[in-house]
């Protein structure tokens, strides 16, 4: 019997976690996507507290993936297409530090990869403004309440999902067709 394939994790914050979760759930090699909170006071990691914008947390997703099927750099490319990394502490109408664009790196390899991807995108002028995504060391990830998990998939007709999450997921499908599940 062969050992199971090792998995890896990436924790990314790109605004509302419903939207980033929807963008990544369709990707080949992504095994699981969990919505949660990271980067703030570990005693106040719940939706009500995080929504105040005073806990220091970001709404984020933890992506468990198969590194034999998709690379960390490919996940970062999708991440930058799934939100606007040039907006400081907001995504569209969602405003506050809890909606910041951030990469929570687990080690120097992830940090260096993120720095290189950001430098490449900025140098190529991929966005009309410089990327403001922060690189933050991995801290405690708090899984969001159950009703936030798989929210877009379970509530496809909800107006916010239709107006915000679906267009982001479609953009990812268009820009990364080779990485989208059949």
Percent of the chain with pLDDT over 70: 98
**Which residues, 6 or more positions from 3, have their beta carbon under 8 angstroms from its beta carbon?**
none
Q: List, in sequence order, every residue forming a beta bridge with 104; answer none if it has no partner.
A: 11, 136
- 3 state SS for 38-84: ECCCHHHCCHHHHCCCCCCCEEEEEEEECCCCCCHHHHHHHHHHCCC
Distance between CA 133 and CA 16 in Å, rounded? 15
| Greatest Cα pair distance in the chain | 52
What are the structural domain ranges in the chain? 8-174
- Positions marked active-site: 16
Q: Indicate whether 22 pLDDT > 80.
A: yes
Contact 24, 33 (CB under 8 A): yes
Ordered DSSP codes for 81-110: HSS-TTSTTEETTEESGGG-EEEEESSHHH
Please tell me the predicted confidence (pLDDT) of residue 3: 58
Please tell me the predicted confidence (pLDDT) of residue 114: 98
Q: Indicate whether 161 pLDDT > 80.
A: yes
35 membership: H or E segment, kind and range: strand 30-38
- pLDDT tens for each residue of 68-110: 999 999 999 999 999 999 999 999 999 999 999 999 999 999 9
- Reported as a pLDDT band with limits 50, 70 and 90, residue 2 is low
Tokens of 173: 């499908």
Rounded (5°) CA angle 37-137-9:
65
The whole-chain average pLDDT of the chain stands at: 95
Please tell me the predicted confidence (pLDDT) of residue 4: 66
Lookup result for tokens 């410089």:
130
pTM: 0.94
Of the candidate CATH numbers 3.40.1030.10, 3.30.1060.10, 3.30.565.10, 3.20.20.10, the domain formed by 8-174 belongs to 3.30.1060.10
Distance between CA 44 and CA 98 in Å, rounded? 13
Where is average pLDDT lowest: 1-15, 53-67, 115-129? 1-15
């Amino acid at each position: 019997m062969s050992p199971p394939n090792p998995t890896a994790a990436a924790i990314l914050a790109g605004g509302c976690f419903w939207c980033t979760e929807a963008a990544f759930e369709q990707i080949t090699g992504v095994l699981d996507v969990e919505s949660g909170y990271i980067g703030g006071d570990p005693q106040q990691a719940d939706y009500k507290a995080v929504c105040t914008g005073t806990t220091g947390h970001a709404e984020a997703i933890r992506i468990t993936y198969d590194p034999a099927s998709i690379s960390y750099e490919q996940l970062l490319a999708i991440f930058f297409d799934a939100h606007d990394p040039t907006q400081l502490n907001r995504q569209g109408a969602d405003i506050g530090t809890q909606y910041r664009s951030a990469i929570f790196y687990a080690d120097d390899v992830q940090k260096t990869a993120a720095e290189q991807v950001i430098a490449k995108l900025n140098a190529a002028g991929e966005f009309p403004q410089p990327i403001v995504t922060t690189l933050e060391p991995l801290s405690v990830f708090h899984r969001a309440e159950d009703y936030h998990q798989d929210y877009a998939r379970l509530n496809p007709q909800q107006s916010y999902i239709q107006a915000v999450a679906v267009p982001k997921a479609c953009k990812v499908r268009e820009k990364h067709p080779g990485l989208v599940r059949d």
